[in-house]
Amino acid sequence: MYDDLSVAHFMEGLIKRNSGETEFHQAVYEFVADAIPFIIEHPHYRKAGIIQRMTEPDRTIIFRVVWEDDEGHIRVNRGYRVQFNNSIGPYKGGLRFHPSVNLSILKFLGFEQTFKNSLTGLPMGAGKGGSDFNPKGKSDREVMRFCQSFMTELAFHIGEHTDIPAGDIGVGAREISFLFGQYKRLSREFTGVLTGKSLEFGGSLIRTEATGYGNAYFMEEMLKLHGTSISGKTCTVSGSGNVALYCAEKITHLGGKVLTLSDSSGFIYDPEGIDAEKLAYVIDLKTVQRGRISEYAKKYNCEYHAGKRPWDIPCDLAFPCATQNELEKSDAEQLVVNGCQAVSEGANMPSSAEAIEVFHKAKLLYAPGKASNAGGVAVSGLEMTQNSIRMSWGEVELEERLREIIKGIHRKCAKHGSDGNGYVNYVKGANIAGFVKVADAMLAYGVA
Ligand code: NDP
């Protein structure tokens, strides 16, 4: 058994078993390309079939979500929770509400979450869930009715010691509040079953900022190791959601200049830089008004490029913070030609496999999301701890902890990803460092 453990042979079987799930194939390939050579050097993992077990979720829950819109029409969506791996802690990972959501996307996200959560050093397993429901254009009452119906089913499968979801694309403070309120009604308990909660009912300070801040900190660590810093550098950021906005804020704190932000309709290019005052406008525009990024261009009289992504704009540093596969091979080539020095991913799997190859070939510093966006789940882990001990830590303490966790992740990646000649392959580093802890726990449990 497992005699032929080549990457090609393994992928052939995985693709056959998970037919049509292209994002899941992509995420697994990105992992096994590093993990299989490592396993061949460490045969106890191979003998125990660890990689075969790790690429199969513990379970996948799919359910119907019925709700009524403001016109009284009955609407039906599909809900999911992929409980991927709980070897090192309860399932932990976000919920995504977006029309593109399907099993492939949630399996790729749950799979990557396994290594991300392991890298944080906190006791968290991995899961991911969501729905093809689109909150965009819905009234608050419609979103509430959807969330209540979604939670009525999800509640059977989660719990503070079992599975603790959080937010992701389309799931912010409003959705988490509706979901938490419904869980509380159903369970008749007040427990920390979700993270990303509002401060009034058990949320943690800096959770909102954590993924974006963590991504900027990860970039700073990469640059520090290579003798430079964010200060004085021009930066392109994609997205204008939770991750992008706070990544932009921390870049500015660290002395960088943010030139771009985007949404699914296009991007704005502000050569003067998006400073604190402009960023406050965008935060209000996107989180309160729920408007489009094009409105920024009108207000600040700068360029808006409809239907385009920001990767053609010359920059020193790039931060993809919107969604998967938003940075393709030609974008990567353009970044290299324009002299970009480093890329740090706030989103999950924003760079295609071909784009990553371009980065590695050009020896550009490249941090995969599973390492560089782990700040969000790390502070979610800290929210769980605060809920358990019924205490709230202060902002300074939490940001210090976040920074230390990111430094620790960077150290692990640099240790396992160094090529011995001064270049760090952060994908390899994250894959191996994330893998070992989970694999050793699985080995210890025996055949299960
Ligand atoms: P939000 O919903 O807050 O924002 C998403 C942003 O990405 C919006 O600007 C949205 O534009 C844009 N976007 C979504 N889909 C597309 C698309 N197909 N093409 C171009 N732009 C798109 O989500 P988050 O900021 O929370 O999440 C962003 C990324 O970060 C995701 O990959 C997520 O998995 C990852 N992540 C999030 C964490 C968190 O703590 N929130 C933690 C770790 C990773 P529009 O408004 O037009 O849809």
Q: What is the pLDDT of residues 409-420, one digit of tens each?
A: 999 999 999 998
Q: Is the CB of 21 under 6 A from ligand 1?
A: no
| Residue with CA nearest ligand 1 atom 36 | 347
Q: Is the CB of 293 under 6 A from ligand 1?
A: no
Q: Is the CB of 326 under 6 A from ligand 1?
A: yes
| Ligand 1: nearest atom to the Cα of 171 | 2
Tally of CB atoms within 10 A around 75: 15
In this structure, the strands spanning 126-131 and 74-85 are antiparallel
Question: pLDDT grade, residue 2 (50/70/90)?
Answer: low
Q: Which residues lie below 8 Å from residue 147, measured CB to CB, with a gap of 6+? A: 175, 178, 179, 182
pLDDT of amino acid 209: 97
Contact 273, 259 (CB under 8 A): yes
pLDDT of amino acid 99: 98
| Residue with CA nearest ligand 1 atom 11 | 263
Distance of CA 214 to the CA centre of its chain: 11
Question: pLDDT grade, residue 159 (50/70/90)?
Answer: very high
- Ligand 1 centroid–CA 347 distance in Å is 7
- What are the tokens at 18? 């998970």
pLDDT of amino acid 5: 85
| Ligand 1: nearest atom to the Cα of 323 | 32
Q: Which residues lie below 8 Å from residue 71, measured CB to CB, with a gap of 6+? A: none
Q: Which of 208, 238, 71, 222 is nearest to 141 (CA)?
A: 71
pLDDT of amino acid 161: 97
Domain with CATH 3.40.50.720 in the chain: 208-367
What is the spatial distance between Cα 76 and Cα 65, in angstroms, rounded to a whole number? Answer: 6
Candidates 242, 260, 319: which one to mutate for ligand 1, based on the most atoms within 8 Å of Cβ?
Answer: 242
Candidates 236, 243, 405: which one to mutate for ligand 1, based on the most atoms within 8 Å of Cβ?
Answer: 243
- What are the tokens at 287? 């989180």
3-state secondary structure of 370: helix
| Residue with CA nearest ligand 1 atom 10 | 263
Q: Is the CB of 322 under 6 A from ligand 1?
A: yes
Q: Is the CB of 30 under 6 A from ligand 1?
A: no
pLDDT (tens digit, 9 = 90+) per residue, 69-122?
999 999 999 999 999 999 999 999 999 999 999 999 999 999 999 999 999 999
Q: Is the CB of 242 under 6 A from ligand 1?
A: yes
Residue 194 has what DSSP assignment? S
Q: Which residues lie below 8 Å from residue 298, measured CB to CB, with a gap of 6+? A: 304
- What are the tokens at 403? 């920074």
Q: Is the CB of 343 under 6 A from ligand 1?
A: no
| Residue with CA nearest ligand 1 atom 35 | 347
pLDDT of amino acid 4: 77
> In 132-256, which ranges are E strands?
163-166, 234-237
CATH classification number, 208-367, choose in 3.40.50.300, 3.30.2350.10, 3.40.50.720, 3.30.1600.10: 3.40.50.720
Candidates 323, 348, 352, 377: which one to mutate for ligand 1, based on the most atoms within 8 Å of Cβ?
Answer: 323
| Ligand 1: nearest atom to the Cα of 376 | 40
What is the spatial distance between Cα 126 and Cα 437, in angstroms, rounded to a whole number? Answer: 13
Domain with CATH 3.40.50.10860 in the chain: 59-190
Contact 167, 98 (CB under 8 A): no
Q: Is the CB of 418 under 6 A from ligand 1?
A: no
Region 371-389 average pLDDT: 97
Query: Looking at the domain 59-190, which fold is it?
Result: Rossmann fold (3.40.50)
Contact 120, 381 (CB under 8 A): yes
The sign of the torsion formed by the CA atoms of 241, 246, 249, 250 equals: negative
What is the spatial distance between Cα 406 and Cα 152, in angstroms, rounded to a whole number? Answer: 36
Region 358-363 average pLDDT: 97
Distances (CA, A) of 76 to 64, 102, 104, 106, 314: 7, 15, 20, 19, 45
Region 371-383 average pLDDT: 98
Tally of CB atoms within 10 A around 264: 14
What is the spatial distance between Cα 414 and Cα 429, in angstroms, rounded to a whole number? Answer: 6
Q: Please confirm, yes or no, whether 363 is among the known catalytic residues.
A: no
pLDDT of amino acid 400: 98
What is the spatial distance between Cα 338 and Cα 348, in angstroms, rounded to a whole number? Answer: 24
pLDDT (tens digit, 9 = 90+) per residue, 22-63?
999 999 999 999 999 999 999 999 999 999 999 999 999 999
pLDDT of amino acid 448: 84
Selecting among 92, 107, 128, 138, the annotated active-site residue is 128
- DSSP for 10-45 reads HHHHHHHHTTT-HHHHHHHHHHHHHHHHHHHHSHHH
| Ligand 1: nearest atom to the Cα of 263 | 11
pLDDT over 70 percentage in the chain: 99
pLDDT of amino acid 1: 58
Q: Is the CB of 215 under 6 A from ligand 1?
A: no
pLDDT (tens digit, 9 = 90+) per residue, 172-188?
999 999 999 999 999 99
b/e sequence 123-160, b meaning 16+ C-beta within 10 Å: ebbbbbbbbbbebeebeeebbbbbbbbbbbbbbebbbb
- What are the tokens at 47? 């003998």
- What are the tokens at 248? 């932009």
| Ligand 1: nearest atom to the Cα of 244 | 25
What is the spatial distance between Cα 245 and Cα 282, in angstroms, rounded to a whole number? Answer: 8
pLDDT above 90 (res 342): yes
Mean pLDDT rounded to a whole number for the chain? 97
Region 250-256 average pLDDT: 98
| Residue with CA nearest ligand 1 atom 46 | 263
pLDDT above 70 (res 234): yes
- Ligand 1 centroid–CA 350 distance in Å is 10
What is the spatial distance between Cα 53 and Cα 431, in angstroms, rounded to a whole number? Answer: 16
- Ligand 1 centroid–CA 208 distance in Å is 13
Region 408-435 average pLDDT: 96
Give 444: exposed, middle or buried? Use CB within 10 Å, 0-12, 13-18, 19+: exposed
